[in-house]
Amino acid sequence: MPKIRFDTLLFAQVLSFLVAVSPVQDLAGSDVANDQGGVIRLSWTAPTDSAPLGGFRIYRSQSSDTGFTVVGDEAASASEFLDGTARDGQKYFYRVVALAPADSAGVVADSVLSVVTGPVSSKAQWFNASRLNILIFSAIICGLFIFYIQRARKGVKMFVRKIAGLDAIDDALGRATEMGKPIMFSFGLGYITDMVVIAALPLLRKVAMKSAEYSTRLLVPNSDPIVMTAAQETVKEAYTEMGRPDFYSADNVNFLTSDQFGYAAGVDGIILREKPGAIFWLGYFYAESLIMAETGHSVGAIQLAGTTETTQLPFFVAACDYTMIGEEIYAASCYLRPEPVMLGTLKGEDFIRFWLIVLTTAAVVMGTLAAILAKQAPWLQTAYDTVVKWATPAY
């Protein structure tokens, strides 16, 4: 943007009735809500009766008449500006200059000042009011979980349906042992921060304990060093618990590469060389999932898969013998260790899911009726919009 001296802007304002550019209207400043302070929002209405605009320049001062300095520029299409350099509690005054387009030499022919707006100051909020609905829903959900945990602790019996994939673990391990083939376990490309990797660790522990019991070699190739470390400790502890600490070898629980297709190539190589009898795909997978699962199928391994990446579930369903869909993998630790406290969280999940189905169905019916009866009952559309706005989280 070309430079303009402020005193020439004053001259331009005096002669504004002669120039084509008109000043901006409705200039207003306010503190940005629900933030940690330091930001002021300016908004204005661009002049409609003006010649084409080149942009806007924003000035700020701590007094209403002198000391204005440039704090930023905006394009001609903009109608607001965020000043992120404000100090909390300090009062500021703003004005916006509408600029005509610059000529080929970069000189702006004319410009015109707006009136001053202010005083405006920024401040930090102690609560993000736009997230009140999330707080309420979270409190309800957590309260229900804790209610069912307490109920389970009091001895109330809770039913858990059969999960075919988890029931098949023992069969798969037995089959691999009978065939004299190793077992393979893969977390995919997951990081330790992925919930599914944490959910898969109890399953690795169970598989490791069985492999120690049957003296079957367990291979765990990893794509993340932290996951590798967690897997090594899990396997080592499982072997120690089964009285076979000597069975552990760091070469079997190793790091391949963090590259997606490099990992797929490495795992495929291990599958084709070692020919495992059972393969567990439990973690986070992307496009490489089918490459690895099909290779596992080609060597005749029994495969069990579980992932939270919904785009890869169809591939695992097609290529694997058992697939855990959705939150079945999260339920694994509760299923393997059916303690009352663990089952209580499953029950809480089911209860919340039931009410989510009821509420979602009610909202769909309400929205459909609101669309059909838009003329006869406009209040229904208003009510529906209010419900949707309240239920939709703001970030």
In the complex, minimum distance from the CB of residue 384 to another protein, in angstroms, rounded to a whole number: 19
In the complex, minimum distance from the CB of residue 184 to another protein, in angstroms, rounded to a whole number: 16
Which are the contacts of 208, defined by CB distance < 8 A and separation ≥ 6? 218, 234, 235, 238, 239
In the complex, minimum distance from the CB of residue 204 to another protein, in angstroms, rounded to a whole number: 9
Nearer to another protein, 1 or 290 (CB): 290
CA dist 206 and 332 (Å) reads 11
In the complex, minimum distance from the CB of residue 215 to another protein, in angstroms, rounded to a whole number: 21
3-state SS, one letter per residue, for 235-301: HHHHHHHCCCHHHCCCCCEEECCCCHHHHHHHHHHHHHHHCCCEEEEEEECCCCHHHHHHHHHHCCC
Q: Kindly provide the b/e burial profile for residues 194-216, where b requires at least 16 CB atoms within 10 angstroms of the residue's own CB.
A: bebbebbbbbbbbbbbbbbeeeb
In the complex, minimum distance from the CB of residue 251 to another protein, in angstroms, rounded to a whole number: 5
In the complex, minimum distance from the CB of residue 282 to another protein, in angstroms, rounded to a whole number: 13
Task: Please state whether 103 falls in left (phi above 0), alpha (psi between -120 and 50) or beta.
Answer: beta
Nearer to another protein, 98 or 238 (CB): 238
Amino acid in position 218: L
Nearer to another protein, 113 or 230 (CB): 230
Nearer to another protein, 45 or 130 (CB): 130
In the complex, minimum distance from the CB of residue 237 to another protein, in angstroms, rounded to a whole number: 5
Alpha-carbon distance values, 60 to 94, 120, 132, 289 (Å): 5, 11, 34, 56
Nearer to another protein, 110 or 194 (CB): 194
Nearer to another protein, 214 or 261 (CB): 261
In the complex, minimum distance from the CB of residue 313 to another protein, in angstroms, rounded to a whole number: 7
Nearer to another protein, 71 or 199 (CB): 199
Nearer to another protein, 83 or 224 (CB): 224
> Per this entry, what is the length of the chain?
395
